[in-house]
Amino acid sequence: MTLKVNDILIQLKAAQGKVPVDLLITNVKIVNVYTEQTTEGSIAIKNGKIVAVNPQQELTAENIYDAKGQYAIPGLMDAHVHIEPTLLTPEALASLIVPHGTTTMFVDAMEIANVAGVDGLKALLSSNDRLPYRIYLEVPSRVPTAPGLETTGGVLGLAEVEELLQEEVAVSLGELDPSKVLNLKEEYLQKVLCAQKHGKVANGHAIGLTWDELNVYTTAGLNDDHECVEYQELLDRVALGITVMIREGSTERNLQKLIKGVVDNKLNTEHLIFCTDDKHANDISKEGHINYNVNKAISLGLSPIKAIKIATLNCARHFRMDHLLGSITPGRLADIILTKELENVQPSAVFKDGSLVSESGKLLQNVPLDSYPEFLNNTVKLSPDFNSKSLAVPYEGTECKVKTINIYTDQIINYGTDETLPVQENCVVPDPQRDILKLAVVERYGKNGGVGVAFVKGFGLKKGALAISVSHDHHNIVTVGCNDQDMYMAAKEIEKHGGGLVVANEGQVVDAFPLPIAGLMSNLSAEEVLTIIERLNSRAKALGCKLPAPFMTLSFISLPTVPELGLTDKGLIDVRQHKVIPLLVE
């Protein structure tokens, strides 16, 4: 938001009492995240900015809001999030996150960029000025994530990244995985240098790194990491000057261990911030958003103001935005939450730019669900040669040893084991009784018709198949199941809808949820999407799946950058060696 001198003059005159302020919030306990204290008083707002806190002179106001003794805290921030895995458009997402107090989202739009390049990314951000929350862009650094190991619809090279970094909405270079740095890939190092040239941070993705590897990674100029699972990982990163984003998403539940370690060891919290990374709409509805992170941290023993500071000022400072965001102080944007309790942040009112956008848990601003460009509605094109035989794993013998992906509940990391599976009609088949299912990734951009096949343990399906067109980061179709026919049916149903989530069983489609916008997002409201996701999760449970978020888990299992194994349309990926490896164990 670019201000002119006249704008500042008006705000200064309002602060001096020479012109009325637009809004005066009175009878309020103001949380100061700088001093970590609270004071009773009032907040004066003019043209979207705070111009006075506890003014001693009498100010006239166009509007007065009586906070009735509640606490005022800064609007909460999500430091790293991919909007698309919520399955909602930015417009539809508003009704879920704003009533929970989130007023700023730092968005890495790599999902839609992998599908549709710069044009897709810009389409995602096109409604930013009309939203009751603000989006800042973490410019995707790796589109594709694993060049040569996956097929994508879009590509962002150095020229595209530099162009986007110069946009006012851009605040950082998006997450960069270790393989690009440790393997000395010059293109990606150039992207980091480009971010630095424009005065912006570079987001990290330092999963599984040793101390020596972290030294190399930090030397390259990466500033943060959202992949810590254990407290020692957090401590190592903070010790090396890396800001840690404590993540609590749908399948990445990291907050409990990390905050417990912080509290037990009395660690300084100045270099900690909160993020969700990927959180499904139904989980936001049930639990909350960043306020959930704040409240859980408080329940684990962190002081309320420190927890709030992690979600506000710390985040703004990290992104070099604290001159505009993160505190209730003069000159900052008037993003303010009112809450009855500090120990349990449940907003009774939310202001964005000094406008009341949510009250009593309800969004007040009507956010129309915008139509998206037609090219985003036609991104799923399976090869005409694709059929159920495309999923077969040929082998001559009675049994076969295969590399198998084993998933962790509540984490996106996995580990590999060698498992022996039966062979029927010269093909290796899954063994649902031992919870070993077939997994496939089907290329969906109409480029090469590639199909990668592997096996996975941990889904629990006893029959049928699941499929989704949201599969990080390439977003080809990923399907898991007990037999090839159901997996094939599920993938074909996704093509029919231009993207989606599908449950199939006994050669029939049991249920489907279309995601027509880039194969990633629905064009429905949040309330409609919540109902549908719950229905599909119940369908998956009826087939034996016991995972809390089966489709979110499925969407991550194809990721070729998270240890130990990933699966793309090119085949099974050894993440640490960054190469395709044989499925069969000789």
Task: Please give the pLDDT value at position 2.
Answer: 66
Task: Please give the pLDDT value at position 576.
Answer: 84
Question: What are residue 247's DSSP bridge partners?
Answer: 275
Q: Which helix (H) or strand (E) holds 7?
A: helix 5-15
Q: Which helix (H) or strand (E) holds 211?
A: helix 211-219
Task: Please give the pLDDT value at position 369.
Answer: 82
CATH superfamily of 75-327: Metal-dependent hydrolases (3.20.20.140)
Q: Hey, is 518 helix, strand or coil?
A: coil
Of the CA atoms within 13 Å of residue 274, those in its CB half-sphere come to 29
Would you tell me how many other CB atoms lie within 10 Å of the CB of residue 320?
13
Domain with CATH 3.20.20.140 in the chain: 75-327
The percent of the chain in helix, strand and coil, each rounded to the nearest 5, is 30, 30, 40
Integer Cα distance of 110 and 559 in angstroms: 13
Q: Taking the chain, what is the end-to-end CA distance rounded to the nearest angstrom?
A: 60
DSSP one-letter string for 237-262: HHHTTPEEEEEB-SS-B-HHHHHHHH
For 539-562, the pLDDT digits (tens) are 999 999 989 889 988 998 888 877
CB contact at 8 A, 532 and 513: yes
Which residues of the chain fall below pLDDT 50?
Answer: none
Task: Please give the pLDDT value at position 578.
Answer: 85
CB contact at 8 A, 21 and 62: yes
Task: Please give the pLDDT value at position 326.
Answer: 98
Would you tell me how many other CB atoms lie within 10 Å of the CB of residue 241?
10
CA-based radius of gyration for the chain: 24
Integer Cα distance of 556 and 554 in angstroms: 5
For 39-73, the pLDDT digits (tens) are 999 999 999 999 999 999 999 999 999 999 999 99
